[in-house]
Structure 1
């Protein structure tokens, strides 16, 4: 199963830490001209280095998850042929509201937005907000510092997503991470259940 995570390396690390003892994982990161996010995961021992691939997109990382998924698909296939994997976590760089993963690449999509962008972000919509399987509103601790209302964000996320799941989090402090893990595990179990 491929779990796509839009925009946040800290969440990739948290998910690896939470899931690696129970599931066989690999991780793919995307950066324009560097392998920085992959190197971050290696430096923090998210997974063994051989299970982490850093894709240099050479251009907008969002194109590599939507229009031309070949580099990411190849990384996923290479990892899957090397290891018996339960899940591959794929991270996209950037914070473009117009971005979302291709369903040819993603079985489950987690889209992360940042409270520091203000409480207007959920109501701006975009495919990541409206179509992701799970919306994570991260850095809740910053709300008072940027004048953002978490209540407004919750209301607007519900209006934009209907019954789509939303989790408020402070990923670096691991607040909200157990709920995110629960959503990912539930999706994995549903996808791999035998009839």
Structure 2
């Protein structure tokens, strides 16, 4: 049996503006002092997210690579992951040994999820400014990603969101899967996020982390045998038929 891979590949996805790049920058600041990291970003026709992270100074710029997908970002993280996978493998080879590669999807909709062929675990990001009802509406990433982050919690009082209810709705939608309410200004929440990531890294290296696919479930079909009681069909006499 091959040795477990030593580098955790962690996907970060969610709608536009939920703070995915800021979350990645926060993780780089928190873990970069003790662990070796690299980042892959996805945008359609630009490397803007990669440039944002480089300008933030969270990692050596050579460890941050932008992929220009040329199409909807979810296609490059789920349907055809070859471009992303090639970049991830190149980073792992160039900067070996790496502890963590963070793969950020382009901003997409609530159905975007990563293929388990690309990442070992994935984080789905919502933010309170998107509305307190988003979490309870559900969707593949909200319900089944390895971790759901409710981001920018410090904004809740300013956008009229009941944070406790939003987190409770998210927890209920996920059936017990973990939820982290995060603000980059709150050290305790940052610690919880970083701790969860390190737990996944430890599980990977122990050979007990099985990548899950939170993607859309196949349509459910029902097979029923129906029996109906009908009144007998009216009998028409030949005489009646002749008169009709």
Scaled by the length of structure 2, the TM-score of the pair is 0.76
Counterpart position of 2:5: none
| Conserved 8 A contact 2:13-2:123 | yes
Q: Map residues 72-87 of structure 1 onto 2, 5 A cutoff.
A: 72-84=84-96, 85-87=98-100
Whole-angstrom distance in 2 between the partners of 1:48 and 1:141 = 29
- Give the number of aligned pairs: 194
Give 4+ residue runs of structure 1 displaced > 3 Å after superposition: none
Structure 1: gaps spanning 5 or more residues: none
Q: Map residues 165-184 of structure 1 onto 2, 5 A cutoff.
A: 165-171=178-184, 173-175=185-187, 176-184=189-197
Counterpart position of 2:146: 133
Q: 2:53 aligns with which of 41, 45, 59?
A: 41
Deviation at 1:185, TM superposition (A): 0.3
Counterpart position of 2:240: none
1:153 paired to 2:160: no
Counterpart position of 2:130: 117
Look at both structures and tell me which one has the larger radius of gyration over its CA atoms: 2
Q: Map residues 86-97 of structure 1 onto 2, 5 A cutoff.
A: 86-97=99-110
Counterpart position of 1:50: 62
1:70 paired to 2:77: no
Structure with the higher fraction of residues in strand conformation? 1
Deviation at 1:145, TM superposition (A): 2.5
1:18 paired to 2:25: no
Whole-angstrom distance in 2 between the partners of 1:114 and 1:67 = 26
Whole-angstrom distance in 2 between the partners of 1:194 and 1:138 = 30
What SS does the corresponding residue of 1:66 show, helix, strand or coil?
helix
Counterpart position of 1:101: 114
Structure with the higher fraction of residues in helix conformation? 1
Over aligned residue pairs, what C-alpha RMSD do you find?
1.5
Whole-angstrom distance in 2 between the partners of 1:27 and 1:45 = 13
Deviation at 1:83, TM superposition (A): 1.4
